[in-house]
Amino acid sequence: MATAHRDSVFANHNFRLLFGGSTISMLGDQFTLVALPWLVLKLTGNPAALGLVLAAMALPRALFMLIGGALVDRLSPRRVLLAARGVNALLVALLAALVLLGDIRMWLVYLIALGIGLSTAFAYPAGSAILPQLVRKDQLQPANALVMGMRQLSMFVGPALAGVVISVGTHGAQPQAMQDAEGLGLAFAVDAVSFAFSLASLLLIRVHSDFDPKPAAGGVLANVASGVRMIWADLPLRAFMLYAAVVSVFVGGPLQVGLPVLADTRMDLGAASLGILMTANGGGMLLGSFLSGHASRIMRGRLGLMVLTIDSLAGLALATLALVHATVTGAVLLAATGVLAGIAQIAIVSWIQRRVAPEMMGRAMSVLMFTFMGLGPISAAIAGSLLRLIPLTDLFAGAGLLLTAIALTCMRSPALRSIGMERPAPVAAG
């Protein structure tokens, strides 16, 4: 029993601090994710303005994420994460104050969105790079499952709580544009307070790079280049990054854009269908994240084959969505793909964290996130344009069958099939 307790990640004081602070912060993030689009629509009544706000967040995040990864390796992930979340807390608190005072303007929303996007470009690689410095390599898979599982759980609970907070603050006597001002301001305030818990936990955590910093050679851009060279020199790692980029471009956008259109034009419950579909997918990912360790043990040494098989099945499920009209059927399909995606995501992230040397971890994780968060908005824009030219059914069928074809073709790649080895990658200078 004592051995089992020592083997638990919760026996690690630093992990408990990170997990607790991050859980509260992730829950708070959902309040802003719900409140910000609602605020923009209330101020402008124009969906295009919402698109510009989302672009203002996505563009700096994509442009600076690789630089963020290099800074993480130069300065320590804890310090970068502390600074990035501190900036986020100030920006969200400013937004809450402006809304509650009734002094919010769209140009301020654009500036704050730009700042949030810039700070998250540093927070994301720092958050992924800190975990390998807190737990043993054999604990990375369960630790990642707990953190990512809690993220999915927060996506269940957070939006509903945010909706309640916003609706409680609604007063019919106010002008229509500011009808929900009090509720929206409270929602932003909840997120700002949640950041305080995360900042407090980070102040108490200590990681290896705080005590044993690696001297940085060259400038930040040279460090970015050395990180890319490190990935390029590691054949399985390079193969997976290229594969992930292709999947993100050809599949991520159609799914992101197509699901709301599917719910609006084809499903039987309208807007409620979209919520059910997203909940089903998130629930599947939550379950998959906790099944990942078991699946990886079964497929030990064949992680690449497992991921490619999962993607080929997910492609068929995505293509099947083209034929779906019932919300229940769509929810079942997306729950199944969520389980598969959760299994693959945890396994791959844990493999990368075990494979890459600690002093290169920030750069490696920033490249991985760039393949999804940097290329994803481009893919979504392309998918949105395609929907003006082709039917929704063709978009889903084409994207799904293309994913299956890509995954099956890549099964012939020795580099992708060999994913699962756990030797550390050679470290490039810089």
Span of 88-92, 138-142, 225-229, 407-411 with lowest mean pLDDT: 138-142
CB 38 within 8 Å of CB 99:
no
The alpha carbons of the chain give a radius of gyration, in whole angstroms, of 22
Domain boundary among 206, 236, 252: 206
pLDDT higher than threshold 60 for residue 268: yes
- Domain at 375, CATH number: 1.20.1250.20
Q: pLDDT tens digit string along 202-211?
A: 999 887 666 6
Phi, then psi, of 189 in degrees rounded to 5: -65, -40
Q: Which residues contact 341 (CB under 8 A, 6 or more apart)?
A: 284, 285, 288, 310, 314
Neighbours of 270 (CB within 10 A): 11
User: Is there a single domain that holds both residue 234 and residue 357?
Assistant: yes
Instruction: Tell me: do 33 and 164 sit in the same domain.
Output: yes
Sign of the dihedral through C-alpha 214, 219, 224, 229: negative
61, part of any domain: yes
User: By C-alpha distance, which of 419, 69, 61, 65 is closest to 230?
Assistant: 69
Enclosing domain of residue 350: 227-423
Q: Read off the tokens for 26.
A: 């992730």
What are φ and ψ of residue 331, in 5° steps? -65, -40
Q: What's the rounded mean pLDDT across residues 229-249?
A: 87
Q: Is the pLDDT of residue 427 over 50?
A: no
For the chain, the domain total comes to: 2
Confirm whether 219 is domain-assigned. no
Six-digit token pair at 282?
């998130």
Give domain status of residue 429, yes or no: no
Virtual CA dihedral for 181, 183, 187, 192, nearest 10 degrees?
A: 60
Higher pLDDT among residues 217 and 245, named by residue: 245
- What is the value of pTM for the model shown? 0.74
Strand partners, 421: 419
Using CA atoms, how far apart are residues 13 and 362, in angstroms rounded to an integer?
Answer: 23
Please report whether residue 428 resides in a domain. Answer: no
Q: What is each CA distance from 287 to 337, 340, 341, in whole angstroms?
A: 11, 9, 10
- The reply to whether 1 falls in a domain is no
Mean of all residue pLDDT scores within the chain: 80
In a domain, 32, yes or no: yes
pLDDT at 95 over 90: yes
User: Would the pLDDT of 83 be above 90?
Assistant: yes
How far is 103 from 161, CA to CA, in rounded Å? 25
Does 28 fall in a domain?
A: yes
Mark whether 23 and 156 lie in a shared domain.
yes
